[in-house]
Copies of this chain bind each other. A is one copy, B any other.
Amino acid sequence: MQRYFISNDQINDNNIVIVGDDVHHITRVLRMKTGDELLCSCSESGKTAHAKIVEITSDTVQVDVVKWLETTSELPVRVAIANGLPKGDKLELVIQKGTELGAHHFIPFIAARSIVKWDEKKGPKKVDRWNKISKEAAEQSHRSFIPKVETPLTFQQLMEKSKEWDYKIVAYEEDAKVGEKSAFATTLQKIKPNESILLVVGPEGGLTEKEVDKLKEHGFISCALGPRILRTETAPLYGLAAISYQFELL
């Protein structure tokens, strides 16, 4: 069943008003009619309703809730991925796949070895695009929450912001090279449901020693994600899959 994301103020008890681009998608792309069924997920509350179309106008689709669903497809821990700004469309891959894998939040940051310059003028358009990718991936993967993608932070801003998370982890290539094995799993096993994790990953070429030292000063645990050297866009996906395995399957 097709899923649409709504905000709290679109809900009126058991009636929901769908507006914006989704109206076009429902009426023109899928050509749905009164009586057809769909899913409405509210990203703020994490709740999902199974609903039925009761009225279609040119700019709204009204649906009645058939049933609020009990199950959730959300990770029991909130995981934010902070990626050193990479080249090309790698961050798009991280956002799309990371959303499928359950990420709660994406925070690109400008790392010492980030080659791309952040263009303040073109930036907002890029951030919009990233958020569109996370919305589409959330719909496709049956999430009930759309992860937010932030405007890239400076390293200093990332340090400040990192205080908001319960656990802070940095994936560090040099740890993989010297055979570090236990830090990641040991940390995950300490985390309780509803706690939050911030996972920092470097850009191509990795984080500098100085950056890793700074992160450790700010309470980050440095760890290897297995013995192989992962690309900047692969490391967050490993992290998220391992977190899902630990908290959802084990």
Give 1 or 0 for each of A24-63: 1 = CB within 8 Å of chain B CB.
0000000000000000000000000000000000000000
Say how far A185's CB is from chain B's closest CB, in angstroms.
4
CA distance A141 to B234 in the complex (A): 11
Closest B residue to A237 by beta carbon equals: B237
Q: Does A231 contact B (CB under 8 A)?
A: yes
Do the beta carbons of B101 and A228 come within 8 Å of each other? yes
Say how far A2's CB is from chain B's closest CB, in angstroms.
13
Given A184-B249, A249-B181; A100-B142 close (CB under 8 Å) = no
**Copies of this subunit:** 2
Contacts of A71 in B (CB 8 A): 179, 227
Given A184-B249, A249-B185, A250-B185; A241-B231 close (CB under 8 Å) = no
Q: Does A10 contact B (CB under 8 A)?
A: no
CA distance A248 to B179 in the complex (A): 10
User: Quick one: which of A89-134 are within 8 Å of B by CB?
Assistant: 93, 97, 100-102
Do the beta carbons of B101 and A234 come within 8 Å of each other? yes
Contact of A237 among B97, B143, B184, B250 (CB under 8 A): B97
8 residue pairs A–B, Cβ–Cβ below 8 Å = A72-B227, A100-B229, A100-B231, A102-B226, A184-B249, A185-B250, A226-B245, A238-B244
Q: Which residues of A contact B (CB under 8 A)?
A: 71-73, 93, 97, 100-102, 140-143, 177, 179, 181-182, 184-185, 225-231, 234, 237-238, 241-242, 244-246, 248-250
